[in-house]
Structures are given as structure tokens and as C-alpha cells.
Amino acid sequence: MDFSTIGIVSMGDMGHAIARTLREGGHRVLAALDGRSERTYALATKADIEDVGSLNTMISQVDLILSIMPPVAAPEFAKSAALEMRNSGTTPVFIDCNAVAPRTVQHIAETIMQSGGTFIDGSIIGAPPGRRTPTRLYVSGPDAEVLASLARPDLEIRPLGSEIGTASGIKMFYAALTKGTMSLDTLVLLGAQQMGLSVPLIREFSESQPHALERMRGSVPWLAADAERWVGEMEEIAKTFADAGLTDQMHLGAANIFQLLANSTLATETRETADRTRELDEAIKAFAASLSASSRDAAD
């Protein structure tokens, strides 16, 4: 199927990069930016994406909608899109590309299909398009194969069969490792900071776990910029494991760590404004200060 006009909501780090590569592939790409932040406008402008204002206007013009947003916002957006489909009488293909549990995406699918729309389950793994390794868009559902035409040199389309929930599932297990590891790294470093053991622990890591220490230094100092939206992602991962008959406690704990980071003084940064010269110990001290503030608030 040839999707000549595509709508993308929203224009965050991943959304605007996917919008850009699809536009470069010959598609007309639209955004509905009424009420959105200055940062969202800036990213859409950077990708040279056409703003049509309202969601209603966008839905009336597109053949395909890609929902790319924080997981907590995905179900409510699907309800809004379904309502606009009914109001406009148009039913574009809708692909949910968010980091949500299979159970959540099945509810989203029901919302869209009840309005007559075609639904495809999707998940995005990898950095935004334009980096060294192509971004992978996993898709599943009875109509997933129609998205093959979206493939680009920096965007691979990987079908995973006809079951809605499969594409979301692979994202859950992938992020359970990657972001779960980031939360564990942060937990370990915070614990050592609280007990006054940071210096000898970092020395031990440098001698016996140099790759782990390199990983920590390469990610932990800037986690606060993404932490707020990762809280919901960890909760969706916990739900996925619970539905599989496994413990949800590890990733509920990860959600707790990311919430702590989201409450820190470093959370005012974005990926564009984050201080890339920040050292690991400086970040951990800032996170520990948030932990102390939370403890004081609880005591009060």
C-alpha cells in the first residue's frame, strides 16, 4: 500500500526524526501542533514538517497515523483520534508505536477499530533515524504487511506476524534490559553514595568491571532528561511481566528510580540542553540530593 500522506503525533526526539526520513522518502508528512510546546514546534521545523494545526484537520487528510509519544499518553490519544475519525468520516490506518504492554495495545486497538480504523501494533527500537545503525520499526497485526513501503535506508520495517501485541511485546522485553540496566546502575551508585562508599566502589569497578563503569559514565549523568517519560514505560514493562506470570517488582523498582531522577534538579534539561561535560559523581550527588529531599518531605 502506498501512503502518500502521513500524520505523526508527536514531534518529539523520535517522532520528528521518523517524520524527516519519511518526508525524504517522498511522503507528505503532517503534524497537528495546536497547543504544543516551543520545543515541539522547533523539532517539527527542523524536520521541515507541515503543520496543519488541529488533529481533526490532520486526520481528514492522511492515509496513515503514527502515534509516537510517552506511553502514559497513548491510550488517551487513541480515544481522541477515534473520536475525530468518527466525526470526519475518514478512517486512516493507525499504528501505535509506543512503549506499552501487549494488554495496553490491545485496548488501544479496540478503540481504533470500533471507529472503523485499521490498526497496526508497532514498536520502535534503536536510536532515531539518521544515526549509524538503522532504526527498527517492528509491526504486527492482520494488516502489518502494508507498512513495507515505509522502509528507508535508516528505517527498517520488521513484521512479526498477525497478532496484535507481539510488536509491543518485543519492545517491552528489549527495554526491560536496556533501561532496566540504566536504573540498576543508578540504584547501585546512589546506594554507595548514601553509605559513603562511592570512591572505593568506583575504584573497584575501574579495576574489575571497566566495561560496566564505562556504560555508567556514558548514560547515568544525563538520564534525568528522559526519566519522566520512562516511569510509565517501566510500569508497562512491569505489567507485561505480570501478565506472563513473572515478577513485576524489578521494573516497578526501576519506575521508582526514574521518578526520583525526574524530581531532581537535572530534570529541567532536555536532550538538546543536557550538560554533556557532567561527570558521573556530579550527577549522583544531584540525584542523592533529591532522595534526601524526598525523605524530608515524607518525614514532614
pLDDT, tens digit only, all 300 positions of the chain: 779 999 999 888 899 999 999 999 999 999 999 988 888 889 899 889 999 999 999 999 999 999 999 999 999 999 999 999 999 899 999 999 999 999 999 999 999 999 999 999 999 999 999 988 999 999 999 999 999 999 999 999 999 999 999 999 999 999 999 999 999 999 999 999 999 999 999 999 999 999 999 999 999 999 999 999 999 999 999 999 999 999 999 999 999 999 999 999 999 998 888 999 999 999 999 999 988 666 555 544
Q: What is the largest CA-CA distance in the chain?
A: 65
Whole-number pLDDT of residue 296 = 52
The answer to whether the CB of 32 falls within 8 A of the CB of 57 is yes
CA distance 292 to 294: 5
Output the pTM of the full model. 0.94
Pick from 77, 74, 97: nearest CA to 14: 97
Whole-number pLDDT of residue 39 = 87
CA distance 190 to 17: 34
Place of cell 488501544: 108
What letter would DSSP give residue 264?
S
Which domains are delineated in the chain?
5-164 (3.40.50.720), 171-299 (1.10.1040)
CA-based end-to-end distance of the chain:
60
What is the grid cell recorded at 207? 579495576
The answer to whether the CB of 43 falls within 8 A of the CB of 67 is no
CA distances from 296 to 27, 293, 299 (A): 53, 5, 5
CA distance 18 to 85: 23
| Beta strands, E only, the chain | 5-9, 28-31, 50-51, 64-67, 93-96, 119-125, 135-140, 155-159
Cβ neighbours of residue 26 closer than 8 Å, sequence gap 6 or more: none
Pick from 226, 121, 130, 246: nearest CA to 178: 226
CA distance 44 to 299: 44
**β-pair type (50-51, 28-31):** parallel
Whole-number pLDDT of residue 225 = 94
Whole-number pLDDT of residue 281 = 96
Whole-number pLDDT of residue 299 = 46
Sign of CA dihedral 194, 196, 202, 207: negative
What is the grid cell recorded at 28? 507528505
CA distance 56 to 73: 18
What letter would DSSP give residue 94?
E
Whole-number pLDDT of residue 297 = 56
